[in-house]
Structure 1
Amino acid sequence: MPFGINLLCLTDFVEEKHLDTISLIKRIGYDGVEVCVLRGDPDHYAWLGGELDRLGLRRTTTSIVPSPDADPTSADPDVRRRGIAHLDWALDCAIALGAESVGGPFHAPIGHFTGAGPTATEWARGADAHRAMAERAARHGMILSLEPLNRFETHFLNTAEQARAYVNLVGHPAFKIMYDTFHANIEEQDQSRALATLGNSVGVLHISENDRGIPGRGHIDFPAIFRAAQAAGFDGWVTLEAFGAGLPAIAAATRVWRPLFPDHETLFREGLRFMREGWSKAAAETTA
């Protein structure tokens, strides 16, 4: 069972100056890191992949749809073409990085709403784009892990029930779901039931507290989530996602205006300990 951490707690674009902190992540005992791919080119991510190899860290990525002008679900063929080109770029960067999964809400622009839920034609256009993307990812030994968000961030995909239906619509074995406990805390009545609904469709399990700070300090019932994930046979990445107020662009995007952890080392150590101990305890309870 690999344990990782999303590097958005540190930066939205990894450079050489971040490598010392990333090496601390390795020394603390994480198996890998989740790299946000928002800008740059494949050459940059090939360099970063080499550095992560040197540190002995595996990796996954997250990406988004940055703008309504590059929406792969759009009815406008030119906009849709730009959206598909953006998905190709995100996958190019992930391949160069040596990532195992491309995750995140790379379905529709965050914060862009139509005033209604997703239509069948929006889903059909998205599924066509994601099926082609999954086919290419599979050729490189990768999976996709698409992330539903809460209703205040997108209308396209919000719940586990929707996500299960969308997985069936895409219909490719390399296409899975990133289950995020923060978003599910808003949208799901019962997270254990939500994970059971998704079954073997979960590619990455995002461990994110209700305030997006250090997991275990808030009110999300993580022991039940760990038990449900194991009951569903999940054996993929268990990845900590937390945000701070120190990076203005990330703070603005995530609406985090106050510090949610005292320092990176506390977040790294406490987060990994919480995930490992919680997962082990759930395994013991499941097999008892």
Structure 2
Amino acid sequence: MNMICVQEQHLPGESMEEKWDIAQEWGFDGIELRGKGDFGFRERLPELRRAAARGIPMPTVCVEMMHFIGAFDAEQRQDAIVQMKSLLDVMAEIGGRGAMTPASYGMFSDRLPPFVSPRSTEEDRKVLIDGLGQVGAHAATLGVELYLEPLNRYENHMVRRLDDAVSLIKEIGLDSVKVAADTYHMNIEEADPAAALLAAGPYIGHVQASDSNRLEPGSGHIDWALFGSTIRAIGYTGPIALESRLSGPAQDVLPASPVLLRRFL
């Protein structure tokens, strides 16, 4: 059975223990962490070690920075690689599964002016193969995984569909690098989200759930029954984490989400 997780920023409480109490009360099975840059996540290691020792499930971390491994600037790319390795170090230390990253976010969209990227498609791919390869190799030495998340056309221009991510992962050739499938981005980019998920099935390492309007599941028009049957069809048994904005106060709207998802998983 899939673990249904909620991202930590939605949970009230000063400590992970307090947040976990609320997460369980709202029907969740685990907490997805957020990993800030400048080694902010590493600085939380004592807190996270304590939480892990107390049995709080924290399987994944979503990086929270403004530059990523596909950045145009070489120094920013290198920093993103270093930060991702640090996130993976922490996740290995606390018994987690892995960390996810997009290729980029908010850096450039070919659907918005000026429409022409300063870097060619071939150069984009070379940069991503290098960065993902470095971080993926580090993940392999730690026994954890790196998850590449495709983002929609308005947030990123390099990796937008699941098959874009799969193509890169095949070329890298590391079992430690997998795809993070996000239902919101799939709703925009995939002509047939279920078929895309089926095709990418062997490479799916993590799943994030939010509705078509980026709000919590049940607030939009995603077909959650089809989503659930597709997850079962590909044999994915890992965590499903809510990464969404909220349609109202967390305590009012979030408890319905795990109920909805479990109905179809």
Q: Identify the TM-score tier after normalising by the shorter chain.
A: 0.7 to 0.9
2:8–2:19 CA contact under 8 A, matched in 1: no
Q: Does 1:104 align with 2:101?
A: yes
2:16–2:51 CA contact under 8 A, matched in 1: no
Instruction: Name the CA distance, whole Å, in 2 between partners of 1:85 and 1:123.
Output: 19
Question: Which residue matches 1:94?
Answer: 91
Which range moved further: 182-191 or 56-65?
A: 56-65
- Aligned letter for 1:273? V
Which range moved further: 181-190 or 18-27?
A: 18-27
Match runs of 1:151-230 below 5 Å:
151-230=153-232
Of Structure 1 and Structure 2, the greater helix share is in 1
Root-mean-square deviation (CA), in Å? 2.5
1:28-66 residue CA offsets vs partner (Å, 9 max, x unmatched): 442211101014142413422422442532331001552
Decide which of 145, 148, 151 is 1:146's aligned counterpart.
148
Distance 1:168 1:46, change over 3 A: farther
- 1:205 CA drift (Å): 1.3
- 1:78 CA drift (Å): 4.0
Distance 1:75 1:205, change over 3 A: closer
Q: Does 1:270 align with 2:256?
A: yes
Secondary structure, aligned partner of 1:47: helix
Question: Which residue matches 1:2?
Answer: 3
Question: Which residue matches 2:50?
Answer: 50
Distance 1:103 1:59, change over 3 A: same
- Aligned letter for 1:274? L
2:63–2:101 CA contact under 8 A, matched in 1: yes
- Aligned letter for 1:140? L
Question: Gaps spanning 5+ residues in structure 1: where?
Answer: 245-259, 280-288
2:27–2:259 CA contact under 8 A, matched in 1: no
- Aligned letter for 1:219? H
* TM-score normalised according to structure 2 size: 0.85
Secondary structure, aligned partner of 1:149: coil
1:262-286 residue CA offsets vs partner (Å, 9 max, x unmatched): x32333321111111111xxxxxxx
Secondary structure, aligned partner of 1:63: strand
Distance 1:153 1:8, change over 3 A: farther
Distance 1:18 1:94, change over 3 A: closer
Question: Which residue matches 2:21?
Answer: 23
Distance 1:79 1:60, change over 3 A: closer
- Number of aligned pairs? 255
- 1:19 CA drift (Å): 4.2
Question: Which residue matches 2:113?
Answer: none
User: % of aligned pairs identical?
Assistant: 24
- 1:230 CA drift (Å): 1.6
- Aligned letter for 2:157? H
Instruction: Name the CA distance, whole Å, in 2 between partners of 1:81 and 1:242.
Output: 29
1:213–1:243 CA contact under 8 A, matched in 2: yes
1:43–1:96 CA contact under 8 A, matched in 2: no
